[in-house]
Amino acid sequence: MSNRKRSEFPRVLFVTSEVTPFSKTGGLADISGALPKALSRLGCDVRVLSPLYGCVDGERHALAVSANGAQPSLTINGRALHAEFARAPRRDSEPDFCFLRCDALYDRPGIYVDPFSNQDYVDNDYRFIALAKCAFDLCRSDHWTPDVLQCNDWQAGLVPLYLSQRRRRGEFAESRAVMTVHNMAYHGWFKADTVARIGDAEALYFPGGPIEFYGMVNFLKAGLEFADGLSTVSPTYAHEIQSSYDFGFGLETVLRGSPRPLQGILNGIDTEVWNPETDPRIAANFGIGTLPWKVENKRALCAKAGFEFNAGVPVFAVISRIVGQKGFEILAPLITEILSLPAQFVILGSGDPYYEHMFHELARVYPDRFAVKLAYDEDLAHLIEAGSDMFLMPSKFEPCGLNQMMSMRYGTIPIVRVTGGLADTVIDADTDLLHGTGFRFYDYTSGELMHAVERAVSAYQDADRWRRIQRNAMSQDFSWDRSARQYLQLYQECLSQPPRVA
Ligand code: ADP
């Protein structure tokens, strides 16, 4: 009997384009930092592979280049690139965090986007072809064969394709690939000349073929077509992305036609990093039993924002990439109305210059009530979660969303649109008076959002009621352990089936 069938806890290679605390643009990094740890705690042998970008602080994380073992082999336009694997020191029963170092591809100030031009790097196709190819080089170098290759988003979308090529050559016969969609809005589209860079893929590129999509090469489609198992990050999003173009962006038909059902497994949060009782980045630690101490964080946040502290005035917060998905088009027209409730408002994020400019202007006009930091700032993100009263997520779509869970853990009440993971994690406090954890609205309009804001403010004015909602929110279990068990089950299902033939 093979190892694969014997093993209750599979060996997992987790391929990801960002991983906290090394590199991060959004939720994928949080998940790549926390899910492998949770799988390791369950007993899996997990290796995480990610690129070594210029922003990764190799010294701080004590990364060391693997002294022995085969090096990855990469060529571009016939030119060999110098590449090697670096690793973080491994602690007992923790995953092995490995990095693909190839300075010609990754040693740049941005992760996907050039911060100077605000455009995607022009060689993003090759940067993530390289990541997918080198996943197999890492295994060879380590003399280690994973049972499961866990592929995350389009950047790892070619891993299942390469696995199928290897299987045809009799390698990795017992391994299975699981493709997880963290955000269906990003497909990894490239011009047709990318086909030649992929290698042995010409026969797959034809109208309607497994890597073709409207005359372009589509890495996410490749992943969905070749993977042995499919998942996404919440049950509601799993339903949404199969249901309509608005969520699937054209790949809904691929999902619906797949012989492997798409599973929706809700993300967790890292409850060690996001723990108000121990968080070193906030002004005062607190928990359910010491909820009154939360106010010290509000005081510190107001001081930082330049607001006068007023316990009776709610502080609203947003921490987000400033992109269309996050609902700024329905939120922005309301901000002055919210400020006149009265309320104070802090925004942390960066992205679309149109909204960046608008927020900058609002901060100039209402310095006592509105503050914005157009940056990526983890320390401030923790203080905002701890110090604000309400957290706004009016997303047009939201695969899972992490901030609503982080907010609830810090007794900060989320106001969310009912979509994706927001629908799966927040209970409306007006609909369920006993168990409510936040405020929900359905229609993607400013009017509906404002109505939810007014309901939240009315609850806030009733101190006993607000405390109850905060306690409900803080008692939710958003730890990774439950979700990791579901991933394990998905892996076991894939391992018990023959490999998928695309
Ligand atoms: P997405 O992955 O779509 O950006 P998520 O809610 O899943 O959204 O995850 C966002 C993560 O990124 C959270 O951990 C959030 O706190 C963090 N984040 C987003 N913008 C910033 C910022 N400007 N500064 C610090 N953290 C940020």
CA atoms within 13 A on the CB side of 244: 5
Q: Give the pLDDT band of residue 4 (cuts 50, 70, 90).
A: very low
Has residue 342 got a pLDDT over 70?
yes
Q: Which atom of ligand 1 is nearest to the CA of 183?
A: 3
Query: Which one, of 396, 404, 324, 316, lies nearest residue 362 by Cα?
Result: 316
- The answer to which of 67-76, 174-183, 459-468, 485-494 has the lowest mean pLDDT is 67-76
Distance 460 CA to ligand 1 centre (A): 26
Q: Which atom of ligand 1 is nearest to the CA of 400?
A: 7
> By alpha-carbon position, which residue is closest to atom 20 of ligand 1?
320
pLDDT tens digits, residue range 367-416? 999 999 999 999 999 999 999 999 999 999 999 999 999 999 999 999 99
Q: Which atom of ligand 1 is nearest to the CA of 267?
A: 7
How far CA 432 is from CA of 324, 426, 445, in Å, comes to: 31, 11, 23
Distance 209 CA to ligand 1 centre (A): 35
pLDDT of residue 1: 36
Distance 21 CA to ligand 1 centre (A): 13
Instruction: Indicate if the alpha-carbon torsion angle 125, 129, 130, 131 is positive or negative.
Output: positive
Nearest-angstrom CA–CA distance, 412 and 231:
30
pLDDT of residue 67: 72
- Mean pLDDT (the chain) is 95
Distance 401 CA to ligand 1 centre (A): 9
> By alpha-carbon position, which residue is closest to atom 14 of ligand 1?
27
**Degrees, nearest 5: CA angle 434-438-443:** 120
pLDDT tens digits, residue range 144-176? 999 999 999 999 999 999 999 999 999 999 999
pLDDT tens digits, residue range 259-289? 999 999 999 999 999 999 999 999 999 999 9
Distance 26 CA to ligand 1 centre (A): 4
Candidate of 403, 412, 424 to mutate for ligand 1, largest count of ligand atoms within 8 Å of Cβ = 403
* Type of residue at 176: R
Candidate of 402, 407, 412 to mutate for ligand 1, largest count of ligand atoms within 8 Å of Cβ = 402
Distance 493 CA to ligand 1 centre (A): 32
pLDDT of residue 141: 92
SS3 content of the chain, % helix, strand, coil (to 5): 40, 20, 40
Nearest-angstrom CA–CA distance, 387 and 385:
6
pLDDT tens digits, residue range 38-63? 999 999 999 999 999 999 999 999 99
Q: Which atom of ligand 1 is nearest to the CA of 325?
A: 3
Candidate of 321, 393, 404 to mutate for ligand 1, largest count of ligand atoms within 8 Å of Cβ = 321
In the chain, % of residues over pLDDT 90? 92
> By alpha-carbon position, which residue is closest to atom 22 of ligand 1?
376
Task: Average the pLDDT over 217-226 and give the result.
Answer: 98
Has residue 223 got a pLDDT over 80?
yes
Choose between 358 and 6: higher pLDDT: 358
Has residue 76 got a pLDDT over 80?
no
pLDDT of residue 6: 47
State the Rg of the chain over Cα: 23
Has residue 236 got a pLDDT over 90?
yes
CA atoms within 13 A on the CB side of 122: 2
Please report the DSSP string for 307-359 in residue order.
Answer: PPP-TTSPEEEEEEEESGGG-HHHHGGGHHHHHTTT-EEEEEEEE-HHHHHHH
Distance 34 CA to ligand 1 centre (A): 15
Q: Give the pLDDT band of residue 3 (cuts 50, 70, 90).
A: very low
Distance 168 CA to ligand 1 centre (A): 40
Q: Which atom of ligand 1 is nearest to the CA of 28?
A: 2
pTM: 0.94
Helix (H) or strand (E) holding 191: none
Nearest-angstrom CA–CA distance, 420 and 422:
5
Q: Which atom of ligand 1 is nearest to the CA of 182?
A: 2
Distance 68 CA to ligand 1 centre (A): 37
Distance 392 CA to ligand 1 centre (A): 13
Distance 212 CA to ligand 1 centre (A): 31
> By alpha-carbon position, which residue is closest to atom 8 of ligand 1?
27
pLDDT of residue 93: 85
pLDDT tens digits, residue range 412-457? 999 999 999 999 999 999 999 999 999 999 999 999 999 999 999 9
Q: Give the pLDDT band of residue 502 (cuts 50, 70, 90).
A: low
Task: Average the pLDDT over 198-219 and give the result.
Answer: 96
Has residue 2 got a pLDDT over 70?
no
Q: Which atom of ligand 1 is nearest to the CA of 24?
A: 12
pLDDT tens digits, residue range 110-149? 999 999 998 999 999 999 999 999 999 999 999 999 999 9
Distance 27 CA to ligand 1 centre (A): 6
Q: Which atom of ligand 1 is nearest to the CA of 25?
A: 12
Distance 37 CA to ligand 1 centre (A): 20
Candidate of 30, 234, 395, 406 to mutate for ligand 1, largest count of ligand atoms within 8 Å of Cβ = 30
Distance 498 CA to ligand 1 centre (A): 38
pLDDT of residue 73: 84
Candidate of 31, 152, 320 to mutate for ligand 1, largest count of ligand atoms within 8 Å of Cβ = 320
Has residue 462 got a pLDDT over 90?
yes
Which residues lie with the beta carbon below 6 Å from any ligand 1 atom? 26-27, 30, 319-321, 348-350, 376-378, 381, 400-403
φ, ψ (nearest 5 deg) of residue 351: 155, -115
